[in-house]
Amino acid sequence: MIYPIIVAGGTGTRLWPLSRSNYPKQFIPLCGEYSMLQETLLRLNGMDHHAPMIICNEENRFITAEQVKQLKLLKTAILLEPVGRNTAPAIALAAFIARKQGEDPLLLVLAADHLIKNAAAFHAAVAQATELAEQGKLVTFGVVPAHAETGYGYIRRGEVTATGLLDDPVYKVMAFVEKPDMATAEAYLASGDYYWNSGIFMFKASRYLAELKQFRPDIYQCCQDAVAQLAEDLDFIRIDNEAFRRCPEESIDYAVMEKTKDAVVVPLDAGWNDVGGFAALWQVASKDEQNNVLRGEVFLHNSHHLYVHSDDKLIAVVGVQDLVIVNTKDAVLVAHKDHTQDIKHIVSQLKAACRPEVNVHREVYRPWGKYDSVDLGPRFQVKRISVKPGAKLSVQMHHHRAEHWIVVSGTARVTINGVEQFITENQSVYIPVTAVHALENPGKVLLELIEVQSGSYLGEDDIVRFEDRYGRT
């Protein structure tokens, strides 16, 4: 049976400020109602498959679990990487875990942040790949190129090695090719012998591990050590932290696929796009009569070929073209559509300046709900806090700040220094500095409140946790 492995550890910096390292593009509904991760999971519907495994990092574990629960996919496993080590080790972890369960399934490796418009064509390509993977081949999916593209790596096909269910040819992989310049990309397109490298793979778990052991025994050993003792924590599977930190960083292309003699490529013509930047996002999105893509409250005059996104403010645009304009609650981006790949330089500057906007949005998700930092000034901060029904914040205290909670909607169970009380709409409570306190939503509806913090230091690291149902320290 097919075992979907969804790699969800990317940071999506080319889509900043929509995508941040602690809330990257795979968790954002860029192209529809669902997030990219959710779309990837839903794309499996209609296929006979094992419950999926999602591989993500520690920082994104709770939003991953929340988005899985929204789809009611309760059996989905979530494997946590202590640190990012690229795709070769991540897939090895999944393969080892599958083998520990006494199976040797076909691993279907998918990225969590790709768009595939034609699910039926995707399913057909997977069915074709299944036959080959059962025979011991390592299958990669080559996207039939729609145009000359310099932003993707390519796969050069060799001789026909087999035919699939519909007599469609399957080719040996002759070479994996790095991103070309435009003249080279045009030559690739004209030759008909090249595909875009989708980063989608299928193979038996045992075959991948055997090839990895042959070509990169160092990665193999580190991953084997990391899964020697697995620990389950709420919705998550944890591996040995120190063993995995010793693992070299490498992609599956370099570690295995470029070296193995059993790599084959199945052509994929299913409306694939990795949505790697705003130009790609503009290209795949629905447009108005002036070729504008508009999200949020946007008013235009004499403007065309724009991508405009607003989270919370009205944007008015007059007399411009070919721009990307993105407004989030804490940042604004204006860029020419032809230069959006250079957003990475802005992100690098933000990192060098230690700006929080590179990592987090103003609105931050937590396992119990979320908070939005509405205002911040000298010695005060105002947050809007939303707590899910039945959820509880950790039992905690602060050395440097006091807090005042005003309930906007719902009912809160508040405990301060061991004394419990209930407060409802339009009521408030004060938590002094160093008071041990907890907040819980005992009701059936969302609890919303305003928190006013005051004190000499208001950082998130001024939290001493005494008890936490989500395993945070």
Q: Reduced to 3 states, what is the DSSP secondary structure of residue 153? A: coil
CATH 3.90.550.10 region(s) of the chain?
A: 2-273
| CATH annotation of 363-467 | 2.60.120.10
CATH 2.60.120.10 region(s) of the chain?
A: 363-467
From first to last of its 473 residues, the chain has per-residue pLDDT tens of 899 999 998 887 899 999 999 899 999 999 889 999 999 999 999 999 999 999 999 889 999 999 999 999 878 999 999 999 999 999 999 999 999 887 899 999 999 999 999 999 999 999 999 999 999 999 999 999 999 999 899 999 999 886 655 567 899 999 999 999 999 999 999 999 999 999 999 999 999 999 999 999 999 999 999 999 899 887 899 999 999 999 999 999 999 999 999 999 999 999 999 998 999 999 999 999 999 999 999 999 999 999 999 998 999 999 999 999 999 999 999 999 999 989 999 999 999 999 999 999 999 889 999 999 999 999 999 999 999 999 999 999 999 999 999 999 999 999 999 999 999 999 999 999 999 999 999 999 999 999 999 999 999 899 999 999 988 77
Distance CA 266, CA 144 (A): 10
HSE at residue 118, side-chain half, CA atoms within 13 A, is: 12
Name 115's Cβ contacts closer than 8 Å, sequence gap at least 6. 31, 36, 39, 271, 272, 273, 274, 275, 284
H helix and E strand count, the chain: 11, 30
Distance CA 354, CA 469 (A): 31
User: What topology is assigned to 2-273 in CATH?
Assistant: Spore Coat Polysaccharide Biosynthesis Protein SpsA; Chain A (3.90.550)
Taking the alpha carbons of 422, 426, 432, 433 in that order, is the dihedral positive or negative? positive
Pairing between strand 298-301 and 315-318? parallel
Given a contact cutoff of 8 angstroms between Cβ atoms, the answer to whether 143 and 194 are in contact is no
Rg over alpha carbons for the chain, rounded to the nearest Å, is 25
Distance CA 421, CA 451 (A): 17
**Alpha helix ranges (H) inside 306-419:** 343-352
pTM: 0.91
Given a contact cutoff of 8 angstroms between Cβ atoms, the answer to whether 254 and 128 are in contact is no
Cα angle 182, 16, 462 (rounded to 5 degrees) comes to 150
Taking the alpha carbons of 228, 233, 238, 240 in that order, is the dihedral positive or negative? negative
Q: For 205-255, list the strands marked E by DSSP.
A: 231-233, 236-238
Distance CA 197, CA 313 (A): 38
Given a contact cutoff of 8 angstroms between Cβ atoms, the answer to whether 272 and 149 are in contact is no
Cα angle 163, 169, 175 (rounded to 5 degrees) comes to 120
Tokens of 425: 């709409």
What residues does 384 pair with on adjacent strands? 372, 450
Distance CA 104, CA 127 (A): 18
Name 318's Cβ contacts closer than 8 Å, sequence gap at least 6. 300, 301, 302, 303
